[in-house]
Amino acid sequence: MKISEHIQIFRRSIHYLFSLSRAHMVSLILSNILQNMLPYIPIYFSARLLDALYEGQSADRLLLLVLITVGSVFLLSLANAWLSAIQSQASQEMNRNQNWEQSEKAMQMAYASVEDPDVTLLRSRIAVESQTGYNLWRLIYCTKQLISSFTSVLMSLCLSVSFFLLDTVPLSGKLTLAGGFLLTVVCSVLTGKKVEKLTNKFLASCVRMNEYDNNYSYIGHYGNGKDIRIYNTADSLLAFDRQNVHNFNQNRMRLNIKTAAIKTVSLIYSHLLRFVIYLILIQTALSGGITVGSIARYVSCVMLLISASTEFFADIQKIFANNPYMKRYFSYLDIPNPMYQGSLTVEKRDDNEYYVEFRDVSFRYPNTESYALRHVNLKFQVGEKLAVVGKNGSGKTTFIKLMCRLYDPTEGEILLNGVDIRKYDYDEYMSIFSIVFQDFQLFAFRLGENVAASPAYDPARAVQCLKQAGFGERLAEMPGGADSFLYKNFDGSGIEISGGEGQKIALARALYKDSPFLILDEPTAALDPVSEYEIYSSFNQIAGDKTAIYISHRLASCRFCDKILVFDNGRIVQRGSHDSLVAETGGLYESLWQAQAQYYTGETCATA
């Protein structure tokens, strides 16, 4: 990475930290400046005091110097204590804001990015790097160190620069001191670079061990799994994990030993220089070039100048070492969301006359060669009940994903009331859909909150939707009713629900949203046959006057729909009512129908 890029990333990082918490950053900067000014006050005034004593000045003068020393240290310490309190309080705010920002990014990212393997890799890389210590908190720590070392450099420079202006000090002494100082700094920069290189190598090996982390969490996740026990997989999984941990520790040990060896050389060098400084200063004092008090002051300040400038450059290197992480972190935050480009508002219609039309739509998932949808042409009639059927992988879910703008078509366009859906404001467009996905998600909040998808909900309406979705009986058994918590994460008396019950709650949530379009993707997959029959036989009533789309591979459950679309290999190969499609002998629908019918008893087929 070039220096200019490092500087650019650092600037953005600081800007970003300020945007997360201005209070934290301001208090951090001020408190570190004050904290690092503190040691120089006693150094300066002690030298003055020693000189005053040596010169035999009055007791009042001596007392005044003591008062100034103690008073200024007291005031600075007091201000620092309060600033530290503010900083500690604000660090919570910063932490929270950063977590929010990351969660918000993950939730608002275009769905195409969520499923993009490159984004997944980037996310896991950021996570691994955070675990190995390269992250935003390291940046804050390094920035704090940088402010400290910079303040110390400035203070020690101010207090030692007069040494170089003294006529009484021989030029050779000044040059030796300045040269030694420069050499020490160069030496420390080179040492730091070497350590950074080693650390990066180690970090790269950690990232390569990404599988280790995945494997580790995989094992943790399945720690109480049934299959692990039945098939006795624990030993082999743990052996793999142990090997990875062993490799990790070996790598880390090698890094630590090499780093310590490099630092030893650097320490020997800088302490030799210290020895030379002592000699020069004592020699100058012996020849009467500086006062007794000044010896203490210059010794302390020059020593501090050396260590502070060494630290200053080391801190810059640490920030640079952290920059690749920050670069990745920002590239994650910068992932664009093309879904949010549209700005048209969706016309609010009391008559729910929303026409959605697919016009020659084809679609290929990112980074794939084959088309998941091919030349789909379709116009929904308002209030129509439409079933989408087909074998697994025929494109049914993809069709819905496109309709809900989780992806944009590769070719063709989708129109809402004659306008390309990309032109609409994304949230506005989404407001016309209620969808129950196969992999729906419920939260460990109150049942009513889950149904309303919001902390504020209308209890009567929530209950009505739950009943409509077939959850009435179970609800009646719950003492807390719609106020009961789902799961036990936040409430010990929370209720555990089965997959089928979850599906009913998800359906109730879709009904509560009351959007003009109701889409159910395999809504009965986890239901028992009785519940399944209840749902699809009352589907028309549940959907009311909404335009409803019902995806299922169980043809029996689609009979109640006005129209059935048959997908095969990404194309709509047949469309029509159940009866007309069954009558198309040799058609895909008829063959699927026959194949499925033989698995039902005569009675089930009759009810279906």
User: What residues make contact with ligand ADP under the rule CB under 6 A?
Assistant: 115, 365, 368, 372, 390, 392-398
Hey, what's the torsion of the CAs at 164, 168, 170, 176, to 10 degrees?
-30
Nearer to ligand ADP by C-beta: 202 or 517?
517
Least distance in angstroms from the C-beta of 434 to ligand ADP: 19
What is the nearest approach in angstroms of ligand ADP to the Cβ of residue 237? 28
- In the complex, the smallest distance separating the C-beta of residue 388 from ligand ADP, rounded to whole angstroms, is 8
Nearer to ligand ADP, 240 or 365 (CB): 365
In terms of CB distance, is 109 or 308 closer to ligand ADP?
109
Nearest Cα to Cα of residue 12 among 101, 105, 136, 149: 136
- Nearest to ligand ADP of 119, 507 (CB atom): 119
Minimum CB–partner distance for residue 18 and ligand ADP (Å)? 38
Smaller CB separation from ligand ADP, 115 or 428: 115
366 vs 398: CA distance, rounded Å? 13
Measured between alpha carbons, how far is residue 191 from residues 276, 314, 317, 576 in Å?
21, 9, 10, 76
- Cβ atoms of 486 and 445 within 8 Å: the answer is yes
Half-sphere exposure of 109 (CA within 13 A, CB side): 20
CA distances from residue 279 to 172, 276, 296, 419, 571 in whole angstroms, order as listed: 13, 5, 13, 85, 89
Q: Output 329 or 593, the one with its CB closest to ligand ADP.
A: 593
Residue 365 CB, shortest distance to ligand ADP, in Å, is 3
- 380, two tokens: 């929904």
Cα–Cα distance for residue pair 417/380, rounded to 1 Å:
11
Q: Which C-beta is closer to ligand ADP: that of 232 or that of 392?
A: 392
Place of tokens 């729909």: 561
| Helix or strand (DSSP H, E) at 278 | helix 234-286
Euclidean distance between CA atoms 471 and 480, whole angstroms: 14
- String of DSSP letters for 382-418: TT-EEEEEESTTSSHHHHHHHHTTSS--SEEEEEETT
CB of 584 to ligand ADP, least distance (A): 20
Q: Which is nearer to ligand ADP, 293 or 395 (CB)?
A: 395
In angstroms, what is the minimal distance from the CB of 568 to ligand ADP?
9
Cα–Cα distance between 457 and 449 in angstroms, integer?
6
Q: How far is the CB of 552 from ligand ADP (least distance, A)?
A: 10
390/470 with CB nearer ligand ADP: 390
Residues 504 and 462 sit within 8 Å (Cβ to Cβ): no
Task: Find residue 548's DSSP bridge partners.
Answer: 385, 518
CA distance 464 to 467: 5
**Which one, 83 or 119, has the nearer CB to ligand ADP?**
119
Rounded Cα gap, residues 375 and 366, in angstroms: 18
The C-alpha R_g of the chain, in whole angstroms, comes to 36
CB of 608 to ligand ADP, least distance (A): 21
Closest contact distance (angstroms) between CB of 396 and ligand ADP is 4
Alpha carbon separation from 133 to 117, 189, 306 (Å, rounded)? 24, 21, 28
Q: Is 601 helix (H, G, I), strand (E, B) or coil?
A: coil
CB of 133 to ligand ADP, least distance (A): 33
Beta bridge partners of residue 460, listed in sequence order:
none
Nearest to ligand ADP of 383, 587 (CB atom): 587
Minimum CB separation from ligand ADP for residue 366, in Å?
7
Quick one: 368 or 441, whose CB is closer to ligand ADP?
Answer: 368
Tell the smallest beta-carbon distance from residue 265 to ligand ADP (Å).
53
Dihedrals φ, ψ of 60, to 5°?
-60, -45
Q: Pick the closer one to ligand ADP by CB: 263 or 554.
A: 554
| Residue number, 407 or 593, with CB nearest to ligand ADP | 407
Decide: helix, strand or coil at residue 276.
Answer: helix
CA distances from 229 to 213, 239, 242, 476 (A): 22, 16, 19, 37
Task: Please report, for residues 114, 384, 418, 437, 440, the alpha-carbon distance to residue 429 in angstroms, rounded to integers and kept in the order given.
Answer: 20, 19, 13, 18, 20
CB nearer ligand ADP, residue 289 or residue 395: 395
Q: Shortest gap between Cβ of 342 and ligand ADP (angstroms)?
A: 23
| Nearest-10 Cα torsion for 393, 397, 398, 401 | -160
Nearest-approach distance from CB 115 to ligand ADP, in angstroms: 4
Contact 44, 159 (CB under 8 A): yes
